[in-house]
Amino acid sequence: MMRAPGDRRSRVRFEVFGAFWGSFDAGDAVRLRNLTRHGALIEAHQPLAVESVQSVCLMLDGQPATADARVRHVKDAGANGDRCYLVGVEFVSMSTAFADAIERLIAYRASSTELA
């Protein structure tokens, strides 16, 4: 296979025809800023592509719960050279465990604000 002029790759790459399924896991933990039954606002160290669908894993009491979320907006919130982005996501599908975890978190938050 012939390489284009200026191509500095050390190995030859081959063109792929058709679609292949795969996944990429950045595995970065994010800070949850806001949570509803329909979506969340998270603080992340890297921007996510608007309209992309991301896999979300929520750990509650050591138990993982998953959902798919569509990125709706991204705002650069970094200051003094910090990389920080506020990412708004909408939950498009979720496991029963994820829905239950959200309900538990919302109920806990509601009860703790009543006591304050």
Q: How confident is the model at residue 108, as a pLDDT? A: 84
- Select from 95, 87, 90 the least CA-distant residue to 63: 95
Q: How confident is the model at residue 62, as a pLDDT? A: 86
- Give the separation between CA 81 and CA 84, rounded to whole angstroms: 9
Residues of the chain with pLDDT under 70: 1-9, 12-27, 113-116
Structure token digits, residue 12: 């030859």
Identify the CATH number of the domain in which residue 87 sits.
2.40.10.220
Kindly state whether residue 72 falls inside one of the protein's structural domains. Answer: yes
Other CB atoms closer than 10 Å to residue 63's CB: what's the count?
Answer: 10
Q: How confident is the model at residue 41, as a pLDDT? A: 94
Supply the range of the domain harboring residue 77. 31-115
- Give the separation between CA 64 and CA 52, rounded to whole angstroms: 22
Kindly state whether residue 96 falls inside one of the protein's structural domains. Answer: yes
pTM over 0.75: no
Q: How confident is the model at residue 23, as a pLDDT? A: 47
- Report pLDDT digits (tens) over 83-102: 899 999 999 999 999 999 99
Q: How confident is the model at residue 4, as a pLDDT? A: 60
Query: Under 8 Å CB-to-CB from 51, ≥6 apart: which residues?
Result: 70, 71, 72
Q: How confident is the model at residue 13, as a pLDDT? A: 66
Q: How many domains does the chain have?
A: 1
